[in-house]
């Protein structure tokens, strides 16, 4: 593939190629099966030969998207992962996200880079707390949602009960595209509501390969499944009578959500999800900049950094900046402008990402996710552009709730310690806070959830060869303050003033009562909540 030879051809190419892109994230509560679904989607697209989640204690494999040692050891997603692959005539950019609340900041950043989301719901547990938090972010951003009821091969709730729960808790109208044949725990296949046919599934050993599907007519399904099929037909007719049929306009407008039933671990219903995403999910469109003006797909190249990750290649200790392309054509080696510094930035080392695996990419288009290697100058939220300047909205940051002083266990490794701490800060794994009181050798780590401390200490030891010791601090609340207010804050008991890497001053409090008392004593003091950046 070669680059377009003129600006006009490049613009046309960007628009045409963007129409083929489907960029989406998978969101859910922990243990709903996100990484397993991600693997199953890649399997059905035939970009891997065998799913990683082969069940059984002996010979358990890790999924492609869960590549960190801690993820494999714990069986949970700790960091988001990007996978790109082709399916039919489309190019899929799939972003797997952590479900655990302690890593929500990483998930929220990913949601700035997608055009649609797949909301995974456990058939037995329904809509759980973290799922609802992520749904709220998608709704705020206007991201259309496809819902997948997962684990239908296990005992769970009634299908109609789950539809009612989606309506009541999200306000969306569920419009099932498929309907289960057999109750939860007796998953025989699905009724395709658009054709009326029966898609019958056959299990494979451990769910490691694509589950064969047999397409039967309604008459054949009645003869084969009897009352179970007839009940599925009756429930599907009831859905039609209540207006639960798919409408593309209401889906894209955030009024309804197409629903599919699946078992990701058995690879049941996964092919239907891929087809749904290609057929119904929106392609990339022009993206608003920080001022609200839309930069069209045909405009010169632009992108923003939504994630920075190091440690993916232990042999090279490289640092990868994930960018979402918003407009124009990306050509490897092009020199673009770094929006924050206004300096030229060369893109010689650009790669297409598939979990931990990567290969060189020469061209990319709006909607694509590209990894820029050793992009040390780039930080989360930075914009890149060519020709016409643009700055995209800031990427979400959150108010930390847990704090700890970090020190190197070996003072002789101060260089490694400092490098590791700076790296974790730039990636957004933790927020690093400093003060004259504690000195450069004892910064404060601030996190949303305590498991982030475990990730930080693990990476400091194994990636940077600088084992650390953490001393938890009693603070649970951070407020923005200014230089004029520092003396008053510092003189108050149970408080401390620290500085973010961007120069912002924060006042730390043990609890809201300590904050309230200080505000009552000094009514003019500057103490502002740390509101998340634009979602």
What is the total count of domains within the chain?
A: 3
Residue 1 lies in a domain: no
What residues contact residue 244 under an 8 Å CB cut-off, 6+ apart? 163, 173, 174, 175, 176
Residue 8 lies in a domain: no
**pLDDT tens, 328-377?**
999 999 999 999 999 999 999 898 866 566 788 999 999 999 999 878 88
Can you give the pLDDT at residue 29? 83
Is 279 labeled as ligand-binding?
no
Residues 161 and 254 in one domain: yes
Pairing mode, strands 319-327 and 21-27: unpaired
Residues 334 and 268 in one domain: no
Residues 229 and 194 in one domain: yes
CATH number of the CATH domain containing 406: 3.30.70.3280
Burial class of residue 320 (count of CB atoms within 10 Å of its CB; 0-12, 13-18, 19+): buried
CATH number of the CATH domain containing 311: 2.40.30.10
Backbone angles phi and psi of 243, in degrees to 5: 80, 25
Residue 362 lies in a domain: yes
What residues contact residue 258 under an 8 Å CB cut-off, 6+ apart? 146, 147, 175, 176, 177, 246, 251, 276, 280
Mean pLDDT by 10 residues, the chain (535 residues): 63 94 91 84 67 35 44 46 87 76 68 94 93 88 96 96 97 98 95 96 71 90 96 96 96 97 91 96 96 96 89 60 95 95 93 73 95 86 95 80 94 92 82 88 89 86 91 94 93 90 91 92 90 42
Can you give the pLDDT at residue 40? 86
Residues 109 and 39 in one domain: yes
394: left (phi > 0), else alpha (psi -120 to 50), else beta? beta
Residue 412's CB is within 10 A of a number of other CB atoms, namely 8
Closest CA to 172 of 101, 255, 88: 255
Can you give the pLDDT at residue 250? 97
Q: Examine the fold and report which residue of 385, 413, 437 is the final residue of a domain before the chain moves on.
A: 385
**pLDDT tens, 465-503?**
999 999 999 999 999 999 999 999 998 888 999 998 888
Could you tell me the residue range of the domain that residue 53 belongs to? 21-280
Closest CA to 455 of 250, 353, 309: 309
Q: Examine the fold and report which residue of 280, 310, 327 is the final residue of a domain before the chain moves on.
A: 280
Residues 266 and 357 in one domain: no
Residue 133 lies in a domain: yes
From CA 288, how far away is CA 6, in angstroms rounded? 25
3-class SS of residue 439: coil
Can you give the pLDDT at residue 288? 95
Residues 259 and 325 in one domain: no
Residues 267 and 295 in one domain: no
Residues 350 and 322 in one domain: yes
Can you give the pLDDT at residue 449? 80
Residue 505 lies in a domain: yes
Residues 101 and 118 in one domain: yes
Contact between 274 and 44 under an 8 Å Cβ cutoff? The reply is: yes
Is 316 labeled as ligand-binding?
no
What residues contact residue 269 under an 8 Å CB cut-off, 6+ apart? 148, 152, 178, 190, 201, 260, 261, 262, 263
Can you give the pLDDT at residue 355? 55
Q: Examine the fold and report which residue of 280, 308, 323 is the final residue of a domain before the chain moves on.
A: 280
Is 450 labeled as ligand-binding?
no
Pairing mode, strands 444-447 and 431-433: antiparallel
Closest CA to 496 of 446, 453, 452, 423: 446
Residues 142 and 261 in one domain: yes
Closest CA to 368 of 31, 5, 22, 80: 22
Is 30 labeled as ligand-binding?
no
Can you give the pLDDT at residue 253? 96
Residue 159 lies in a domain: yes
Residue 16 lies in a domain: no
Closest CA to 126 of 32, 191, 261, 37: 32
Residues 263 and 292 in one domain: no
Residue 121 lies in a domain: yes
Residues 259 and 328 in one domain: no
CATH number of the CATH domain containing 103: 3.40.50.300
Is 469 labeled as ligand-binding?
no
3-class SS of residue 13: helix
Can you give the pLDDT at residue 170? 97
């Amino acid at each position: 593939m070669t680059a377009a030879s003129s600006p006009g051809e490049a613009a046309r190419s960007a628009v045409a190629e963007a129409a083929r892109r489907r960029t989406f994230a998978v969101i859910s509560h922990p243990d709903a099966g996100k990484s397993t679904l991600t693997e199953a989607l890649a399997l059905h697209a035939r970009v891997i030969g065998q799913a990683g989640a082969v069940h059984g204690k002996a010979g358990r494999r890790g999924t492609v998207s869960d590549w960190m040692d801690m993820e494999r050891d714990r069986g949970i997603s700790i960091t988001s992962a990007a996978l790109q692959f082709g399916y039919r005539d489309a190019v899929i950019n799939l972003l797997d996200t952590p479900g655990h609340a302690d890593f929500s900041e990483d998930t929220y950043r990913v949601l700035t880079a997608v055009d649609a989301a797949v909301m995974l719901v456990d058939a037995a547990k329904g809509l759980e707390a973290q799922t609802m938090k992520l749904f709220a972010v998608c709704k705020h951003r206007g991201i259309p949602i496809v819902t997948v009821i997962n684990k239908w091969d296990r005992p769970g709730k009634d299908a109609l009960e789950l539809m009612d729960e989606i309506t009541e808790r999200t306000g969306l109208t569920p419009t099932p595209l498929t309907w289960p044949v057999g109750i939860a725990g007796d998953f025989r296949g699905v009724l395709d509501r658009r054709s009326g046919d029966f898609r019958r599934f056959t299990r494979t050993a451990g769910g490691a390969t694509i589950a064969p599907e047999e397409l039967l007519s309604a008459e054949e399904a009645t003869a084969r499944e009897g009352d179970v099929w007839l009940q599925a037909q009756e429930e599907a007719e009831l859905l039609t009578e209540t207006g639960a049929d798919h409408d593309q306009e209401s889906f894209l407008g955030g009024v309804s959500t197409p629903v599919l039933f699946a078992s990701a671990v058995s690879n049941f219903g996964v092919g239907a999800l891929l087809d749904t995403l290609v057929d119904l999910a929106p392609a990339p469109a022009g993206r608003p900049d920080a001022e609200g003006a839309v930069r069209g797909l045909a405009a010169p190249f632009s992108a923003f950094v939504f994630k920075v990750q190091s440690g993916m290649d232990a042999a090279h200790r490289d640092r990868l900046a994930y960018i979402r392309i918003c407009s124009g054509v990306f050509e490897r080696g092009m020199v673009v402008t770094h929006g924050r510094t206004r300096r030229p930035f060369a893109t010689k080392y650009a790669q297409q990402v598939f979990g931990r695996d990567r290969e060189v990419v020469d061209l990319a288009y709006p909607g694509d996710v590209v990894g820029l290697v050793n992009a040390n100058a780039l930080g989360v939220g930075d914009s890149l552009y060519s020709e016409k300047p643009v700055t995209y909205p800031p990427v979400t940051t959150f108010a930390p709730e847990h704090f700890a002083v970090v020190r190197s266990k070996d003072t002789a490794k101060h260089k490694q310690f400092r490098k590791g701490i700076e790296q974790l800060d730039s990636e957004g794994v933790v927020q690093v806070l400093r003060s004259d009181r504690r000195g450069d050798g004892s910064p404060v780590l601030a996190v949303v959830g305590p498991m982030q401390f475990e990730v930080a200490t693990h990476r400091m030891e194994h990636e940077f060869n600088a084992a650390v010791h953490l001393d938890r601090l009693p603070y649970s609340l951070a407020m923005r303050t200014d230089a004029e207010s520092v003396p008053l804050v510092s003189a108050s008991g149970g408080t401390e003033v620290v500085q973010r890497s961007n120069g912002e001053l924060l006042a730390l409090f043990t609890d809201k009562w300590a904050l309230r008392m200080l505000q009552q004593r000094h009514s003019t003091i500057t103490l502002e909540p740390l509101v998340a950046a634009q979602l």
